[in-house]
Structure 1
Amino acid sequence: MSDHRGIALIVASALFMQNLDSAVLATALPAMARDFGEDPARLGAAITSYLVALTVFIPFSAWIADRFGAKRVFMLAILVFVASSMLCGRAQGLGELIAFRVMQGLGGAMMVPVGRLLLLRGVAKKDMLSAMAWLTMPALLGPVTGPPLGGVLTDYWSWRAVFWINVPIGLIGFALVAWKIPHVPPTRPGPPDLVGLGLTGTALALLMFGLETVGRHVVPGWVSWLSLGLGLATGALAIRHCRRVKRPAVDLSLFSIATFRDPAVAGSLFRTGAGAVPFLIPVMLQIGFGMSATQSGFVSFATALGAFAMKPLVRPVLRRGGFRRTLMVNGVLAAAGIGALALVTPAWPSVAIFLLLALGGLARSLQFTSLNTLAFADVPTERMSAATALYGTLQQLTPALGVVLATGTLEVSLGLAGREALLPADFSLGFVVAAVVVVLSIPLHARLPADAGAEVSGHRG
């Protein structure tokens, strides 16, 4: 096994833990809502609070990894993630859970982009697709095993157990990193752009707070709209600042690289639409169709199973079609797979739902892997820290927007129908809206050169 494969597998242990955490939590949300006496749609805050924390803290990860050494930061991040998972398992209400999920997001913000940086800094362009495949395939075991495991733990123990399983996984990953990954000496990145980091973090936090609370009656309506307005204004100041300083917190000049810009912009639209699906499916199966958490978990894990099955096929598909054609054609298939979920009713047999979810997982997996590989295809090694931080921020922000999109659509559907209880028709609207957002990403890929990322994909037209 080559060095890049070994490092990829070890780094993937952290991604496995994070992905498992997200998958089991989605399955446990209805049980948590009953325990806390909250509406299931409001429990989406348990997911978005973590994703928002990731988004806010990830810009810090590039400077911290350079200043203190990527391996050391990666190990500390694993310990923070494990400790906060234990606290989440002891939460007594939604407020406490959100606070501990924010702490968990701090660990994840340092863990995932820094882990990717450990891998990508030393891998040749021709090995990048292989390295990303080795990185993501073990990580996909989290979504594959998460839904059924989350259902079993919730039904036979407690939803609290879905957080406790991170403890042994995290400790094993910590030991493997300490043992096998070479030391990465710190560098002298210069002083951090504290103004840029502060403006960026504040803007993201205000925007996500506003999106998460608007129309929910959690806070007065004017507070949500004020938060959105201040977030947009602060974001504009952050962009202006980062364009003017020498070492910005967010390196916006990376958008001049076409193969980075497309996964960042078009990929963000795709990830937002696709990010609504993991939230909608388990809630629909349990609240809308009356399944238990265990039944829901064993049906919904089909999505991740399809995603896992696609991974060995990514290389030959990209070699034959190239990045541009693959992203455009497969984007249509991914949107169709999401939209088809709007047709599902409680009368459908579980096997039919399983097959539809698995097919959708195939298409979304190919799109995710293509975007995530293309993003770093032409980034110079010396700018890889900035690229992993910026792309990692977008990667985590967009699934949070996807959950907000899903919960917001459910709230609007309930309001229009004048009902208080969710019905299957509400979820159908959610899948239609998510599919439309994915469709919007497809034309943007046409701007890519025909040979974009050819050195990585092996496609020669």
Structure 2
Amino acid sequence: MQTLDATILNTALPSMARSLGESPLRMQSVVVAYMLTTALLIPASGWLADRFGTRRVFLSAIGLFSLGSLFCALAPTLPTLVAGRVVQGLGGALMLPVGRLAILRSFPRAELLKTLAFVSIPGLFGPLVGPPLGGWLVEVASWHWVFLINLPVGLLGLVLTTRYMPDLRAPERPRFDGRGFILFSLGLMMVSLALQGLGERAFSTAVSVLLLVAGLAAMCGYWLHAARADHPLFGLQLFRIPTFAVGIAGNLFSRLGSGAMPFLTPLFLQVGLGYSPSTAGLSMVPTVAGAMVAKRFAERLINRFGYRQVLVVNTLLLGSLIAGFSLIGRGTPHALILLHLALFGVVNSLQFTAMNTLSLSDLDDRNASSGNSLLSVVMQLSMSLGVAAAASLLLAFNPQALEGEALMPAFHRTYLCVGALSVMASWIFFQLGRHERPSGPASQEVEA
């Protein structure tokens, strides 16, 4: 449901903009509001799961997400739509991290790479059907149905969760770090708003700089608090785990490019290339098909070549493929565009599998909850910043508010910049040892 909502929404954004009287290039607030809300509340997800159990929290997450979907469908204006997305974000903040926490506590770490690759395949059903379904719905009905379709899925999810979700809790239940949560969340929110304000001129420069300084001060305050607190929200000892530290930093910068793509590409196909919503949606299917293919060989490839080699080379490929969209024009054959999207799906999926396994596999039971929550925060934050960066670049490269084919140079320059952002993450993964892996030094067989 969560991945379906994200992909179906991106395809419908241009139609939603026309219905609400907004510019398609200024609809990023619908995406960013959800991601930022999710990032702000994810830090509490691990504690809530430890306190109330994975089943109860997961049920609450599905209920909130479904309620937010109903609010979005009934929204008459952009601000009310954004408010509905915030309610969705309340549920999304609990859904993915609590589901992954249940997996972490149900399987041994040695099987985590295989398990994460397997359980992500059903989650790809949403991106597979979402873009074409979103395009079809806005053509034959209205954009409201991209949210209403979540309601029967949510109902089914409630039934299945009640029957099959394990009710896991932590053996120890420390007190919730309320002070740390406030400092961390305030810092995260103010830094995100400041960067968005500087890029989009949503606020004055003075207000944006003030928010940035205040946000950095709050994050610094959290760091000092975590160094002294007995049970901080995210203990600093997490960063003494080398693979976790590299995985978190790599996720933050690598996902800037990957996070921008689901927002940028449907806009590019419809506004830039002039595709209909249904054609643009169907064109996104090869990306998901490529991701599914990558899941089948990701484990063997990582075990054969090691995390550093796979992540460094794959990050360079990812950035190059994103920048490669700058070579696509209205005269480019559709088949070539589909091939490019499929290759991007393969590389992007391999990147996620390797980064997430690297980040999580060395966490013990004591650190599993907070480490998993921090990874989820970084993922959502990076994707929201990626969307905001892509939207800001599009507006900056299009100062005359051009439309249609005249927008192509702005799209091309945006893809080049976003690709460059992704390439830079390769330096982070290069810090891994040549044969370093989550379970310690690579075995002699793998090294050979």
Q: Normalising TM by the smaller chain, what interval?
A: over 0.9
Partner in structure 1 of residue 365 of structure 2: 381
1:419: Cα distance to partner? 4.3
* Equivalent runs, 1:25-44 vs 2, <5 Å: 25-44=9-28
Percent identity between matched residues is: 35
Gaps of 5+ in 2: none
1:310: Cα distance to partner? 1.0
The TM-score normalised by the length of structure 1 is 0.92
Deviates more, 1:220-229 or 1:278-287: 220-229
Partner in structure 2 of residue 460 of structure 1: 446
Partner in structure 1 of residue 229 of structure 2: 245
Partner in structure 2 of residue 198 of structure 1: 182
Partner of 1:414, secondary structure, is coil
Q: Which amino acid aligns with 1:353?
A: I
The 3 A distance-change label for structure 1 pair 110 and 206 is: same
Equivalent residue in structure 2 for 1:393, among 374, 377, 402: 377
The 3 A distance-change label for structure 1 pair 249 and 288 is: same
* Equivalent runs, 1:216-231 vs 2, <5 Å: 216-231=200-215
Partner in structure 1 of residue 217 of structure 2: 233
Q: Which amino acid aligns with 1:460?
A: V
2:338 is aligned with 1:354: yes
Mapped partners of 1:185, 1:338: distance in 2: 41
Partner of 2:63, secondary structure, is helix
Partner in structure 2 of residue 3 of structure 1: none
Partner in structure 2 of residue 402 of structure 1: 386
2:118 is aligned with 1:125: no
Q: Which amino acid aligns with 1:343?
A: L
Deviations 1:383-405 (A, max 9, x none): 10011111110011111011011
1:177: Cα distance to partner? 1.5
Deviations 1:137-187 (A, max 9, x none): 111111121111110111111111111111111221221121122332465
Mapped partners of 1:154, 1:455: distance in 2: 48
Partner in structure 1 of residue 44 of structure 2: 60
2:421 is aligned with 1:441: no
Partner of 1:121, secondary structure, is helix
2:355 is aligned with 1:371: yes
The TM-score normalised by the length of structure 2 is 0.95
Q: Which amino acid aligns with 2:112?
A: M
Equivalent residue in structure 1 for 2:315, among 331, 336, 342: 331
Q: Which amino acid aligns with 1:79?
A: G
Partner in structure 2 of residue 151 of structure 1: 135
Partner in structure 2 of residue 13 of structure 1: none
The 3 A distance-change label for structure 1 pair 338 and 178 is: same
1:323: Cα distance to partner? 1.1
Equivalent residue in structure 2 for 1:93, among 77, 80, 85: 77
1:423: Cα distance to partner? 0.6
Deviations 1:252-282 (A, max 9, x none): 3211111111110022111012211111111
Mapped partners of 2:432, 2:222: distance in 1: 28
Partner in structure 1 of residue 163 of structure 2: 179
Equivalent residue in structure 2 for 1:426, among 393, 410, 423: 410
Q: Which amino acid aligns with 2:317?
A: L
1:45–1:98 Cα contact (<8 Å) kept: yes
Mapped partners of 1:150, 1:213: distance in 2: 30
Mapped partners of 1:376, 1:215: distance in 2: 33
Mapped partners of 1:196, 1:362: distance in 2: 38
* Equivalent runs, 1:72-111 vs 2, <5 Å: 72-111=56-95
2:11–2:280 Cα contact (<8 Å) kept: yes
Partner of 2:22, secondary structure, is coil
1:18–1:108 Cα contact (<8 Å) kept: yes
Cα RMSD (Å) of the superposition? 1.7
What number of residue pairs does the alignment pair up? 443
Partner of 1:348, secondary structure, is coil
Deviations 1:6-44 (A, max 9, x none): xxxxxxxxxxx1111110110011011111111112211
The 3 A distance-change label for structure 1 pair 185 and 62 is: closer
Mapped partners of 2:199, 2:110: distance in 1: 49
Partner of 2:166, secondary structure, is coil
Q: Which amino acid aligns with 2:274?
A: G
The 3 A distance-change label for structure 1 pair 436 and 215 is: closer
Q: Which amino acid aligns with 1:73?
A: V
Mapped partners of 1:319, 1:188: distance in 2: 34
Q: Which amino acid aligns with 1:63?
A: W
Mapped partners of 1:166, 1:140: distance in 2: 16
1:378–1:453 Cα contact (<8 Å) kept: no
Deviations 1:394-436 (A, max 9, x none): 0111110110110011111113xx4443611111111111111
Q: Which amino acid aligns with 1:382?
A: R
2:437 is aligned with 1:450: no
Gaps of 5+ in 1: 1-16
